[in-house]
Amino acid sequence: MVKRLLEAGHTVTGYNRTKSKAQWLLDAGMKWGDTPRAVANVADVTLSMVANTQALQAVTSGPDGILAGLSRGKIYIDMSTVSPSAIRELARQVEAKGAEMLDAPVSGSSITLEEGKLSFMVGGKREIFEKVLPYLQAIGPKATYVGGHGLAASMKIATNLSLAVQMLAFSEGLLLAEKSGIARETAVEVLLNSVMASPMVKYRGPFVLQMPAEAIFNVNMMQKDLLLALEMGRQLDVPLPTTAITNEMLTAARGMGLADKDFAILFEALARMAG
């Protein structure tokens, strides 16, 4: 994301807990901020993306946090997948500083980003969304305004639950075909060229033949999103039966020692259960 902003001609100041991981971006022209506060101090628009609600609170609060570096006229955009209620509380704190906030989680992965197909869903004030649209479109071509603070986070959770559910359904069909006598490679080819092959299934389906060395989105991260979805379901009285079952399969994968694998490892967990 930073690389795309730099390529679009924007001045970017960045921070990461481990500076060495950002060295390639520093070499590409990114400036360095020693703390999240230092970044927010110098930036007109500050963007963050972290693993979960607890990490978001850690990077925004305290004397070195983003909130401490915000002032009137600045804009803060969080792109994490976190609790909608946490986003609304954070937006209240940002506005108390005279600044504005948007929640703008993304749909896609590192693969989608590299292909230039990443999309944003954005919550907050529409006029602020319009103001920052050029920055978002420098990263990904599509940004959709969905409503007030926290609603983009809700939309992202509603989207992500389907990814794991689809992967489990794909695994079920594949194992049924394989155990009936069809070669796994052949069954994968048929499924990926069938009507059920969503964009996610098309790029993650081949993982059942060769898992990536490094997870794009691991079991723990996906289960975090499913637990957020189940929490929302209870709050809104929306039954989520396939989400609940898929969540249990992710727990099974963790119990098998597969937590650090991409969530496509759902296939391996189900395969072990199938003998």
On whether the CB atoms of residues 124 and 103 are closer than 8 A, the answer is yes
Out of 87, 122, 149, pick the residue that ends a domain.
149
Is 19 a known active-site residue? no
Q: Model confidence over 137-178: pLDDT tens digits?
A: 999 999 999 999 999 999 999 999 999 999 999 999 999 999
Q: 206 pLDDT exceeds 90? A: yes
Task: Give, in order, the Cα–Cα distances in Å from 141 to each of 58, 126, 147.
Answer: 30, 18, 19
CATH of the domain at 68: 3.40.50.720
Q: 80 pLDDT exceeds 80? A: yes
Q: Clarify whether residues 159 and 144 are in a common domain.
A: no
Tally of residues, the chain: 275
Q: 116 pLDDT exceeds 90? A: no
Q: d(Cα 151, Cα 164) in Å, to the nearest integer?
A: 21
Q: Clarify whether residues 37 and 134 are in a common domain.
A: yes
Please give the angle made by the CA atoms of 153, 154 and 157, to the nearest 5 degrees: 85
On whether the CB atoms of residues 74 and 47 are closer than 8 A, the answer is no
Question: To 10 degrees, the CA torsion angle through 91, 92, 97, 102?
Answer: 20
Catalytic residue, chosen from 74, 156, 224, 261, is: 156
pLDDT average, residue stretch 238-264: 98
Q: Clarify whether residues 181 and 135 are in a common domain.
A: no
Element (H, E) at 208: none
Q: Provide the token pair at 223.
A: 């289960």
Q: d(Cα 96, Cα 113) in Å, to the nearest integer?
A: 34
Out of 97, 119, 149, pick the residue that ends a domain.
149
Task: State how far Cα 266 lies from the chain centre.
Answer: 19
Mean pLDDT value across the chain: 96
CATH of the domain at 217: 1.10.1040.10
Task: Give, in order, the Cα–Cα distances in Å from 202 to each of 22, 23, 85, 199, 216.
Answer: 31, 33, 33, 5, 15
Q: Clarify whether residues 23 and 143 are in a common domain.
A: yes
> Which residues partner with 211 through β-bridges?
none
Number of domains observed in the structure of the chain? 2
Euclidean distance between the first and final Cα of the chain, in Å? 42
Q: Clarify whether residues 20 and 139 are in a common domain.
A: yes
Task: Give, in order, the Cα–Cα distances in Å from 11 to each of 44, 64, 229, 249.
Answer: 10, 22, 36, 44
Q: Clarify whether residues 101 and 124 are in a common domain.
A: yes
Out of 149, 180, 201, pick the residue that ends a domain.
149
Q: Clarify whether residues 113 and 162 are in a common domain.
A: no
φ/ψ of 260, rounded to 5, equals -90, 0
On whether the CB atoms of residues 150 and 158 are closer than 8 A, the answer is no
φ/ψ of 14, rounded to 5, equals -125, 160
Q: Whole-model pTM?
A: 0.91
On whether the CB atoms of residues 216 and 231 are closer than 8 A, the answer is no
Looking at residue 29, what is its pLDDT? 98
Q: Clarify whether residues 167 and 144 are in a common domain.
A: no
Q: Clarify whether residues 128 and 190 are in a common domain.
A: no
Task: Give, in order, the Cα–Cα distances in Å from 93 to each of 55, 74, 81, 124.
Answer: 17, 13, 19, 14
Q: Model confidence over 8-25: pLDDT tens digits?
A: 999 999 999 999 999 999
Q: 111 pLDDT exceeds 90? A: no
Q: Clarify whether residues 131 and 199 are in a common domain.
A: no
Q: Clarify whether residues 144 and 169 are in a common domain.
A: no
Q: Clarify whether residues 238 and 258 are in a common domain.
A: yes
Structural domain of 27: 2-149
Question: To 10 degrees, the CA torsion angle through 233, 247, 106, 147?
Answer: 0
